[in-house]
Amino acid sequence: MLLNESLCMELSADDIAAVERLAGRPATTDDQRGLLLKSLPRMRERHQVLRTSSLAEDQSPAIAFHLPVPATKSADDGVVLPVSSIQTWDGEMGSLAFAPVFFLAELIRAQRVTSRQLVELCLDRMDRFAPDLYCVVSRVSGEVALAEADRADAEIASGNYRGPLHGIPYGVKDSFATVHLPTTDGVRRWADRILGYDAEAVKRLRDAGAVLLAKLSMGELAMDDVWFGGKTRNPWFPEAGSSGSSAGSASAVAAGLLPFALGGETWGSIISPSAICGTTGLRPTFGRLPRTGVSALSWSLDKIGPMTRSVADCALIMDVLRGADGADVSAMEAPFSCDFTAPLAGLRVGYDVAGWDALSKSGEGAESLLAMYNAAKETMERLLGTTLIPVHLPEMTPEYNTLPMGIIDVEGAASYAAFIADGGLDELVRQGEDNWPNIFRLAQTVPATEYLQAQRVRSHLQSEISRVLEGIDAYITPSCWGESLRYTNLTGHPEVITRCGFTEVAGMPVSLSIVGDLWNESAALRVAYAYEQEAGWHTRTPKN
């Protein structure tokens, strides 16, 4: 094997001493450095082989993160949706731009509305609003989309109704592979990259009769809301961004361009843009939905989930997508049953004390935000007929503070190794200290021992969170305040987010999160739905 020029360079004891200082490691002796100098060339050669190996885009490592499914038998009845009063619809198509999926599904099933009409509505709204929001990267042609809609209408008319997503238009984050559209990951060099296959989630939605219309913007390599086409905008306040990295999914749904979209989350990428844009989002239990065909940032942390306008929509979409596929080694078969018509009596719900404390100490504007969250807490207690239980999440420690970036950075640098080796980092729009180019270069210096140690700390946190959640079904927390978002992404717990108000000055949405126990999205969804329907914030729409 021919070694590249950097591998042929002579190494010295001074080089080893410099690495020890860089890593903060104890200094070795002269004899120990002599042994290292003999061994390092072989190690560098092995590393070079790994860096330049040709691996498929979706090849995951042999180490997988698994959440055990409870051995106890539970119901697996899927979703019982709330009753839709479609008789109240006045026939105005424009009003359906912000209607929930379960309402649209009943209209389609009753053949009061066709899939073609909904697709035409969405295509028109994308034409009008998407350019200013920078939320759509690529679109299925109108001809193809309408042909799919006509096929759905013909099936429904003949009595072949596939279920509540039949004929419903949707979009996906641009990390989901699609057979005919580019998958860019928000990166300019991949603007025309056709992978030639569909992500498993896209396949399952197609089998359910849903109609794909668009690939939606994401921050470069799944960070924030800036991509090669610009900064994705917030429909409520276009001067602001939509947060990320599922930026376009949140923006498009909030603006009424699509009834629902799929997003992905490693460390807040469904929850954060949902909070900023006021969409309803669900980050399911890690392993609930297969990620096959979705670009990986962090194999042990990545989740996918729906972004919608109603809690019930999140449940029915998750129900279609859930289950192992034989390819994603972390995807599991686990029962799911969510009855939105059942009373909340008996559910044990807590509130995140540290989240409330963090908000109260946040400075200017805290008082009005605190009033909104306290009002939401009171509404929740009224719905449950009991006071909420104080929940004390583990205190932040120096070890926990190294997470999750000590894991994400390393796994991300490995996932995008070929892109990095080919000079791709130099092409990214954002080049600051806290952006991927610098982060990934730094991650390449992290020893494997430190990465595995971080995973051990994560395992300890998992045990701590499980202990805290004993005896409760769910807890509420101010979205993106405190440590709940960080902790639950590491532990794999599900989270639902819904609106609980709007800021006084800018009129921006304010959101409440409901966190459930592992594999118990149902409790969080039912609590969130009851609050959503009682509070009514989800019915407000942005001006456009």
DSSP H or E stretch at residue 240: strand 237-241
| String of DSSP letters for 455-474 | HHHHHHHHHHHHHHTTT-SE
Look up 513 and say whether it is catalytic.
no
Give the Å distances, CA to CA, from 468 to 360, 376, 403, 473, 475.
23, 23, 19, 11, 11
| Catalytic, out of 269, 272, 295, 522 | 269
The answer to whether the CB of 425 falls within 8 A of the CB of 440 is yes
Q: Positive or negative, the Cα torsion across 399, 425, 61, 330?
A: positive
- Tokens 């998750």 locate to 318
Nearest residue to 520 via CA among 315, 296, 254: 315
The answer to whether the CB of 113 falls within 8 A of the CB of 104 is yes
Look up 173 and say whether it is catalytic.
yes
The answer to whether the CB of 333 falls within 8 A of the CB of 289 is no
Instruction: Spell 151-185 as b/e; 16+ CB within 10 A means b.
Output: ebbebbeeeebebbbbbbbbbbbbbbbbeebbbbb
* Distance separating alpha carbons of residues 333 and 519, to the nearest angstrom: 10
Nearest residue to 282 via CA among 255, 258, 261, 259: 261
| Catalytic, out of 115, 217, 242, 245 | 245
* Distance separating alpha carbons of residues 272 and 347, to the nearest angstrom: 27
* Distance separating alpha carbons of residues 367 and 351, to the nearest angstrom: 18
| Catalytic, out of 60, 115, 173, 249 | 173
Look up 246 and say whether it is catalytic.
no
What is the greatest pairwise CA distance in the chain? 85
Q: Cite the active site residues.
A: 173, 245, 269
